Amino acid sequence: MRGRLALLGSLLVLLSTASPVSAAPVSVYAVAGLDRPVNLVQDEWGIPHIYAQNTGDLFLAQGFNAARERLFQLDLWRRRGLGLLAEAFGPSYVEQDAAARLFLYRGDMDAEWNSYGPDAKLAATRFAAGINAYLDWLARNPRALPEEFRLLGHQPSRWRPEDVVRIRSHGLIGNLRNEVTRSRVTCAAGVEADQLRWPTQPADQARVPDGFDPCSLPADLLRTYDLATQQVIFTGTTLQARSAPDFTEGSNNWVISGDRTASGRPILANDPHRTYAAPSLRYLSHLSAPGLDVIGAGEPAQPGISMGHNGSVAFGLTVFNIDQEDLYVYQLDPADHTRYRYGSGWERMTTLDEKIPVDGGQAKDTRLSFTRHGPVIKVDERRHVAYAVRSAWFQPGMSPYYGSLKLMRAKDFGDFKDAMRTWGGPAENQVYADTRGDIGWVPGGRTPVRAGYDGLFPVPGDGRYEWTGYQTDFPHELNPARRFIATTNQFNVPPEYQDRGYGYEFADPVRFQRITDVLADKPKSTVADSAKLQGDQLSLTAQRITALVKHPLFVNWDGVEGVDSAPAALFEVWRKLYLGPGLLKAVLPAAAANLMVRPDNAALVDALEHPETWFGADAIAKRDRLLADTLDAAYAEVSRRLGPDPAAWKWGDIQSTVFEHPLAPLVGPRLNVGPFRRGGSETVVNSSGFRATDFRQTGGPSFRMVLDVGNWDASLATNTPGQSGDPASPHYRDLAESWADTAHVPLLYSRAQVERHADKRIVLVPRP
């Protein structure tokens, strides 16, 4: 009785101090581990605004709420990353579990926590405690267990603080697959041919290292790496490793000085491009406690936020294409494959014997092997060769996005720049704005200093090719004369820093060119203008390629790949199914062309505009024949798909988006969201990559935000298909249709506005 009275008293005090109190329904949870009551207001778009009286309770409440909304996603993320899938789903996942364990952080935990600043261990500890507190509540309320657990017949697992940071294999880090593919293309057609697949900058950068044979790599070399880094696949059959999807993950961000906005305040926009799924990879949250008041998006399995703003500073990210990993090749002792050549002698691998628990059976023994450089992913027993991955992942401070705990406390550009100097991964371009009117750009990431090689090919592991440290010198920009900054994963290293060797594999600059064209054309931008630009579907790639042909559908086309565009339907089928592959077949040996599938878009445009580089004698005639033949084939393809009348063709009748739930292969499409007819492609600002097999968009900007810096309640965001991971929740799919139309919802910050739009109130009180 005394405990119930204490709970009631806490609730009354909390409700009396929340002003104004909305009429939204109230749910009360008694939560073990809380020091003081916490008020959570969920607005009508499913965004939680968490108000705590200290930061420890704030992070605990964030973990509790993440579990309440995304428990199956969290559990799957943890099991995949720690190598515990077979414990729940059976023996077919043992191989993936063993692979994942190779890529865990296994270093000193004090060094790990200290890398992220003074709040790091507290945040993870309290966040994990919040998840576990929700599991305790579920044990008392078993009917609330999410449907996915009942379908699969397992229970969610409890968390430790270390689980938050030890998992690295979901991060965007490097070029290992590129090293392997580049080697195979070089074997088939020479190193220059690979410039069609992924142009390096500078173009003549790639050099085959002494002692490495690019023709020597086994076909299944990356199986373990792919298993370690892929998402969980439920098929009911034997698990297969999947290589990277037909979509290159990227992002857009920009920031505009108040000198170029209608309001006189800076505007910051960000739309990271990741794989589409239900639920979304991102989760929007507002975290408020004394000394901390921050809102934006993060990953559900992590405390804090990584894109958003506090009361004075706004920030948003794109990937900065630093090369943070290498593949090492070792000659093994023929008499003992645990020894590899290093220097003038042999060095022994480190081995760890672990047991992988298996649902319904005995635990499986697995041996994990490591060289001085990293985990061994392949041993060629016949040739006495081993392959291992050296990655910045294995260094302290490399838990993806966890460095955001520092960023979200920044009060000015100096604070922000200092926080980015210790940033680990993934490597990022952060754009910045503050209420003083400053705008800036700061890239960061743990970047190896390589001795005598460029990191574009695998290297012998015998000691000739080593990392000699990490870069400490990065560029930055503050209040540039052009009064805006944009990044889109393009090559943006200033000339004076290009000898640092950050990396050489950057994205097609076409999105950057379009964004900067639009920003430069707008002397007084608004938040609405930036929101519109995030949905922009004008393809400069399409404009340049169609200028080379005369076709009735392209004569008056402006290159906008709208959902109802007939020219877009023809162009994109032509580009992806016929023109790109056709170019490779025309200028490369078949073995190299088959390895690439299709060329890089920037390389495609360059090869068509400057055919003499690739076509040799009679280059223009050969190019024109390629254009004509492939366009005829594409026209016939679209006619088969959409009918003989091009006036009725619509790009959205071919291309679509579906947000697929992980269990869709087992239970069918009922947990999916979509399909939605879509325009665009990966060549536009509203970038979405699609599969050539079925024109299903596989990734793009599921999260977007546009921040009105200083007038925070005028900011906009969206997170599709919705905030919740519960298919029964109205917030599971409520943002999908508006997202498909590139619409945003308010990202409210002030308590008064949050209360006016409250949809649900949740009170967390200490459990006696």
Q: What is the CA radius of gyration of the chain?
A: 26
Structure confidence at residue 247 (pLDDT): 54
Residue 6's pLDDT band (cuts 50, 70, 90): very low
Paired residues of 756 in beta bridges: none
pLDDT digits (tens, 9 = 90+) for 443-459: 999 999 998 999 999 99
pLDDT in tens, 360-418: 999 999 999 999 999 999 999 999 999 999 999 999 999 999 999 999 999 999 999 99
- The predicted-structure confidence for 644-685, as pLDDT tens digits, reads as follows 999 999 999 999 999 999 999 999 999 999 999 999 999 999
Q: What is the pLDDT of residue 607?
A: 98
472 or 333, which is more confident? 333
Structure tokens at 317: 């990210």
Task: Say whether pLDDT at 27 is over 80.
Answer: yes
Angle 527-534/510-521 helices, nearest 10 degrees?
Answer: 160
Instruction: Provide mean pLDDT across the span 619-635.
Output: 98
pLDDT number for residue 329: 98
Q: What is the pLDDT of residue 239?
A: 52
Q: At 58, is the pLDDT very low, low, confident or very high (cuts 50, 70, 90)?
A: very high
Q: Binning pLDDT at 50, 70 and 90, where does residue 11 land?
A: low
Is 734 or 23 the better-scoring residue by pLDDT? 734
Give me 303's structure tokens: 């405390």
User: Using CA atoms, how far apart are residues 225 and 180, in angstroms rounded to an integer?
Assistant: 12
Is the CB of residue 329 less than 8 Å from the CB of residue 212? Answer: yes
Q: How far is CA 282 from the centre of its chain?
A: 9
**Per-residue pLDDT tens over the stretch 264-302:** 999 999 999 999 999 999 999 999 999 999 999 999 999
- pLDDT for residue 19: 46
- For the segment 329-362, what is each residue's pLDDT rounded down to a tens digit? 999 999 999 999 999 999 999 999 999 999 999 9
CB 76, CB 146: distance < 8 Å: no
**What integer pLDDT is reported at residue 403 of this predicted model?**
96
Which pair of structure tokens corresponds to residue 162? 């270390």
Query: Sign of the C-alpha dihedral, residues 87, 90, 94, 97?
Result: negative
Q: With 90 as the cut, is the pLDDT of residue 310 above it?
A: yes
User: Does position 5 have pLDDT exceeding 80, yes or no?
Assistant: no
List the beta strands (DSSP E) in 325-472: 325-333, 336-342, 345-348, 350-356, 364-370, 376-380, 385-391, 428-434, 439-444, 448-450, 459-460, 467-470
| Six token digits for residue 159 | 């968390």
pLDDT number for residue 16: 47
464-488 mean pLDDT:
97
Distances (CA, A) of 739 to 619, 703, 716, 720: 44, 9, 12, 6
Cβ-in-10-Å burial (0-12, 13-18, 19+) of 743 comes to: middle
pTM for this entry: 0.96
**Predicted local distance difference test score (pLDDT) of residue 246:** 54
pLDDT for 12: 47
**Is 387 strand, coil or helix?**
strand
106: its two tokens: 């296994």
The number of angstroms, rounded, from the C-alpha of 461 to the middle of its chain's C-alpha atoms is 30
Adjacent-strand bridge partners of 268: 255, 707
Give, in degrees to the nearest 5, the angle at Cα 121 between 115 and 127.
130
Q: What are phi and psi for residue 545, nearest 5 degrees? A: -75, -45
Condensed to tens digits (0 to 9), the pLDDT of residues 611-625 reads 999 999 999 999 999
Q: What is the distance between the alpha carbons of residues 339 and 342, in angstroms, rounded to a whole number?
A: 9
Q: Is 361:451 a contact under the CB 8 Å cutoff?
A: no
CA pair distance 728, 744, nearest whole angstrom:
23
- Mean pLDDT score, 691-700: 94
pLDDT, the chain, mean: 94
Cα 317 from chain centroid (whole Å): 11
| Whether residue 308 has pLDDT greater than 90 | yes
Q: Note the pLDDT of residue 362.
A: 96
Cβ atoms of residues 325 and 175 within 8 Å: yes
pLDDT tens digits, residue range 212-258?
999 999 999 999 999 999 999 998 654 555 554 555 567 999 999 99
Closest CA to 87 of 361, 366, 301: 361
Question: Which range (12-21, 175-184, 370-379, 648-657) has the least confidence?
Answer: 12-21
Q: How far apart are CA 499 and CA 494, in angstroms?
A: 10
Residue 2 scores a pLDDT above 60: no
CA separation for the pair 431, 485 (Å, rounded)? 7
- Alpha carbon 405 to its chain centroid, in Å, reads 18
Q: What pLDDT is attached to residue 150?
A: 96
Instruction: List C-alpha distances in Å: 597 to 176, 469, 572, 691.
Output: 18, 36, 16, 12
Res 441: pLDDT: 98
How confident is the model over 524-533, as a mean pLDDT? 98
Cα–Cα dist 81/97, whole Å: 8
Residue 526 near residue 262 (C-beta atoms within 8 A):
yes
Q: What would the pLDDT profile of 104-154 be if each residue is shown by its tens digit?
A: 999 999 999 999 999 999 999 999 999 999 999 999 999 999 999 999 999
Report whether 276 contacts 676 (CB < 8 A): no
Q: How many residues does the chain have?
A: 768
Over the stretch 410-429, which tens digit does the pLDDT of each residue have? 999 999 999 999 999 999 99
DSSP tag of 560: B
- Per-residue pLDDT, 173: 76
